[in-house]
A and B are shown apart, each in its own frame.
Chain A
Amino acid sequence: MPRKLVRGNTAVAEGAIHAGCRYYFGYPITPQNDIPEYLAAELPKVGGTFIQAESEIASINMMMGASAAGARVMTSSSGPGISLMQEGLSYMAGSELPAVVVCISRIGPGLGGIAPTQGDYKQATRGGGHGDYRTVVLAPSSVQEMFDLTIKLFELTDKHRNPGVLLCDAILGQMKEPAVIGERPQPVPQEKPWALRGAKGREPNLIKSLFLGDGEMETHNWKLFEKYERMRREDVMYEEMFTDDAEFLVVSFGSCARMTQSAIWKARETGLKAGLLRPITLYPFPGARLRELTERIKKVLTVEMNTGQMHDDVRLSVHGDVETFLHPRPGGGLPTPEEIAEKIRKCY
């Protein structure tokens, strides 16, 4: 299939259409505006609905209603808007409703700036809102993956009846790369017997997150927990580079992993046997694979564009049995392949 030059944000929007998503609700914020702009033009052509909501709070709740009606739905935003959506994400996790939330991260905290960051790692992977829940979090590192993983996230969120986050950043959203994007397939209807459409010829369906009976909420929390365990068993995704013979492991995700890949080539040129583990699912985190790799590789470096948020997951996974290092660049700082290669040399 021919490759086209595509912008990351466009790849996400087109991925949603390919996944059969016909409903998008969103609110403008830089650096993700290409997504709503594209869908405002394209969704009507495929019989879909685009609503520019009055706020991100309204967007996420419109998603909740559309999802409860059985539709595949998406919104996109960036840090400040994603923060406002946490209420809705918590309710949807509690009510077991699937939905795809795209976060094209910008630097924070506060209004921060529009430069890229990975500073929303914890917000995405720890649930983000109130209560004991998780979302499926996928982290693409190329425009092709922004397309492919958007489709994948719709499948996973439907499979688990749980919201999911596509965690990207301003680099991925704004850059153009060649990507293979085929013809739009016909949407495949999803079987959702729990959806609300009016109780014609059946008992009424009820979707809620309030459980006041003695012990009900504990039961519900364990049910949700089992879902997160199932994600961990069945849906972990990662990519490896040179891990077969590596003596030094680097862990990096998203756009940052692209720079790390270049750094690993540089290190290899100087005879350092470095390898890369790139988590694609940030939740569930590929901790078991990391643990496996560190039975042989005794030094691990985390490279990320924040002050060390994923590094906590790396350290939890290796249980302190190996030496760990961190190369953090928060607030819009972009690590160059040279500086990462230098760090590998120092820690090797």
Chain B
Amino acid sequence: MKETDAAGEMKKVYGRPQSLRDVQFHFCPGCNHGNVHKLIAEALDEHGIREKTVGIPGVGCCVFLYSYFNIDVIEAPHGRACAVATGMKRVLGDDVVIFTYQGDGDLAAIGLAETVHTANRGENITVFFVNNTVYGMTGGQMAPTTLLGQKTTTSPYGRDFMTDGYPIRMAEMLATLEGAAFVARVACDTPKNLFKAKAAVKKALRMQMDRMGFSFVEILSACPTDWNLTPLEARRRVGGEMIPYFPLGVFKERTTADYL
């Protein structure tokens, strides 16, 4: 049944967010980057902040954010998005919303120091961390988040904690820092989880708008291409293998700006 307004005209109930450009994503079938892009873009629209937001993608599949978002964008060097965001935020102040968009190699390996210290300084920025347990664009190499036993192109016999250490839980780690205001982990595997992801994304941006400090949302995502799975199998792996190791939830939420 079509929805109509009082005058009997057709009413638009769903469409592309204004914060996204009218172009097709290049992402692989079953990849969740498209979903996450849409969630963030919708949140920007709903907060009414498209024209006062700067996006900072890291290196990898993330970087093409600049092709899709209808906002000011600067591409950061690999791992350095949080440092770039810090410098920019200190200049522009809290009237401008700044978010980074980073993968697990970018944020949790080469950019670990920048991420931790930015959170620890309580920089009033938002970090969206797409965790798909591999380096996506470079062809599926082992990441700090690769699960034990997971085969990748650089852990061909499966990740072994004796040689490669353990998958790193970024959300839990950052939640221990005083400077972090909001830390959550969400997933893209089911409609229900997508709704929760949207709420967390929106909340993280709201925290920044309210000058609460560093906000961080880790988003568990599928990479069917580098996992050698079909999109459906990949989606099931997120729930079946990733969520048990990377539990979903809000790990920290500051309710007042008590640091002031």
Contact = CB atoms under 8 A, between A and B. Distances in A.
Interface of A: 23, 25, 49, 51, 53-55, 57-59, 61-71, 73, 87-88, 91, 95, 196-201, 204-210
A230 B129 CA distance: 42
A243 to B, nearest CB: 44
Interface stretch (B78-86, B216-224, B229-237, B248-256): B78-86
A201 B51 contact: yes
A196 B51 contact: no
B54 A196 contact: yes
A205 B74 CA distance: 8
B96 interface: yes
Contacts of A205: 72-73
Interface residues of A, dominant DSSP:
mixed
24 contacts: A23-B87, A23-B91, A53-B117, A57-B83, A57-B113, A58-B114, A59-B83, A62-B86, A64-B77, A65-B56, A66-B87, A70-B91, A196-B54, A196-B72, A196-B88, A198-B52, A198-B72, A199-B72, A201-B51, A204-B70, A204-B71, A206-B74, A208-B73, A210-B75
B171 interface: no
Contacts of A196: 54, 72-74, 88
B75 to A, nearest CB: 4
Given A58-B114, A91-B77, A64 B87 contact: yes
Contact of A204 (B72, B80, B92, B121): B72
B12 to A, nearest CB: 23
B111 to A, nearest CB: 9
B75 A209 contact: yes
Given A51-B86, A64-B74, A196-B88, 7 more contacts: A58-B113, A61-B76, A62-B90, A204-B70, A205-B72, A206-B66, A208-B66
B63 interface: yes
A198 B53 contact: yes
B202 interface: no
Contacts of B90: 23, 49, 51, 62, 66
B127 to A, nearest CB: 14
A63 B87 contact: yes
Contact of B87 (A55, A65, A87, A95): A65
A198 B51 CA distance: 5
B50 interface: yes
Contacts of B83: 53, 57-59, 61-62, 64-65
Nearest to B81: A61
Given A53-B83, A206-B66, A68 B77 contact: no
Nearest to A208: B75
A64 B89 CA distance: 12
Contact of A65 (B52, B74, B117, B121): B74
Contact of B63 (A23, A91, A210): A210
Of B51, B72, B89, most buried by chain A (CB within 10 Å of CB) is B72
Contacts of B121: 51
Contact of A197 (B77, B85, B92): B92
Contacts of B54: 196-198
Contacts of A58: 80, 83, 86, 113-114, 117
A25 B86 CA distance: 10
B147 to A, nearest CB: 29
A64 B92 contact: no
B117 A54 contact: yes
Contact of B73 (A53, A59, A206): A206
Interface in B82-134: 83-92, 96-97, 113-114, 117, 121
Contacts of A91: 77
B73 A204 contact: yes
Contacts of B74: 64-65, 68, 95, 196, 206-208
B50 A61 contact: no
Given A25-B87, A61-B84, A207 B53 contact: no
B80 A69 contact: no
Contacts of B87: 23, 25, 61-69, 73
A88 B77 CA distance: 7
Contacts of B92: 69, 197-198
